[in-house]
Amino acid sequence: MRLVTFGDGDGRVGVLEGEEIAVLDVPTMRAYFERGGADETGERVDLADTRLRAPIVPKKFFHTAGNFREHEEESKRVGWTHEIAPWIVFFQNVDAIVGPDEPVVYPEHLTEELDYELELAVVLRKPGTWFSPEEAADYIGWYVIFNDITARDIQRREMRSGVFSFCKAIDTFCPLGPWIVTPDEIPDPHDLAMELRVNGEQRQTSHSGRMSVTIPEILSHYSPLGYSAGDVLSTGTVSGVAGFSPDAGSLYLRPGDVMEAEIERIGVLRNPVVSWQEAHGEPAPPRVRW
C-alpha cells in the first residue's frame, strides 16, 4: 500500500490505487499514525487532477549518518576535518520539508556548493523508547525516499567543531516522498537498488544492502531519544555525492537542474532546483560568509 498527502493547503490523506486516490478520514498523515490507521471515506480523486505533497511532516525527523561506509571512504578524498563515523545523529528541520516536484531553492547568498544525498528513510509506526533490535520490527511502519540537500561550504566550516546541521536544514533542503510504502511491498529493506540522477545523469548508485548496520539496529540505537508515531528516521547516504568527487565543482547543483532520487520498490522523488529570484520574485540578499 502507498499512502499519499495531496491537494492544496495542508493537504488530504489517501491511499494511492493505480491512477486514483482513495481518500481517508483523517486530517493529516501524522494523525494517521497517531490513530493507528483510518477508514476510507468512499471519495475517490484522480491522481491527474491533484498534486502530491510531502507525504508527512513528522513531529521529529531523526537524521542519521555514517551507516554506509562507502560514503566515509569517499570523504577521505577531500581531507574532511572529521571522520564520518557510524552513529552520527541530529534533528532535521521539519519546516524545510518539500514534496515531490516541489522546488529546492538555491540560496546563492549562503552557498556556492549545493549537493544532493540519496537516503532511505523509515516512518515510525508507533511511539516507543528503549527497545532492542529484535523488538524494532514492531516500530517500523513504512518507508519513504529522502534527498538530503547539503551546502558543502557551510558544512565544511561547521565541521571544524565536528557538529553540523545548519548546512542541511535550510528552507526547502528536505525533499521527502513521493509517498510512504508499507513493509509488505518491501520484504527486505536491505535489498533495494538506489540511484540518484541529475538531469538524467547517474550520480549516485548503490544498494541498501551495503549498510554496515541494519535498520533494526539503527532504530534501537536511537530509541533512548524517544519516538513518536509518525516520526521519520533517515539511514544515511551512499557514495557518489558531488562534494567528495575529484571534480566537485562541475557536479554541484545549479538552478535549472532536476534531481531524481530513486529507490527500488518505492519510486522516484523528483525535485527541480530554482534560483532565489525565481522562487521569491526578487534578488537574493547580500552574500553571507560562513
The per-residue pLDDT for range 50-64, each reduced to its tens digit, is 999 999 999 999 999
Q: What pLDDT sits at residue 225?
A: 97
Q: Does residue 216 share a domain with residue 112? A: yes
In a domain, 54, yes or no: no
Confidence band, pLDDT 50/70/90 cuts, at residue 80: low
In a domain, 180, yes or no: yes
Q: What pLDDT sits at residue 88?
A: 85
| Averaged pLDDT, 168-194 | 96
The domain total for the chain is 2
In a domain, 253, yes or no: yes
Q: What pLDDT sits at residue 207?
A: 96
Q: Does residue 194 share a domain with residue 87? A: yes
In a domain, 185, yes or no: yes
Return phi, psi of residue 235, to 5°. Answer: -120, 15
Percent of the chain with pLDDT over 90: 82
Q: What pLDDT sits at residue 257?
A: 98
Q: What pLDDT sits at residue 65?
A: 86
Q: What pLDDT sits at residue 71?
A: 61
CATH number of the domain residue 33 falls in: 2.30.30.370
Q: Does residue 261 share a domain with residue 148? A: yes
Q: What pLDDT sits at residue 76?
A: 66
Q: What pLDDT sits at residue 34?
A: 96
pLDDT top residue among 5 and 247: 5
Segment 248-271, tens digit of pLDDT? 899 999 999 999 999 999 999 999
Q: Does residue 100 share a domain with residue 126? A: yes
Query: Any idea what the Cα angle at residue 114 is, between residues 113 and 116, rounded to 5°?
Result: 135
In a domain, 216, yes or no: yes
CATH number of the domain residue 135 falls in: 3.90.850.10
Q: Does residue 28 share a domain with residue 84? A: no
Q: What is the mean pLDDT of the chain?
A: 93
pLDDT top residue among 110 and 82: 110
Q: Does residue 81 share a domain with residue 36? A: no
| Averaged pLDDT, 286-290 | 85
Q: What pLDDT sits at residue 250?
A: 95
Confidence band, pLDDT 50/70/90 cuts, at residue 285: very high
Q: Does residue 101 share a domain with residue 29? A: no
In a domain, 100, yes or no: yes
Q: Does residue 92 share a domain with residue 16? A: no
Output the pTM of the full model: 0.95
Q: What pLDDT sits at residue 30?
A: 96
Q: Does the pLDDT at position 150 exceed 80?
A: yes
Q: Does the pLDDT at position 81 exceed 70?
A: no
User: Which residues form the domain of 22?
Assistant: 2-49
Task: Give the length of the chain.
Answer: 290
Q: Does residue 234 share a domain with residue 177? A: yes
Q: Does residue 34 share a domain with residue 97? A: no
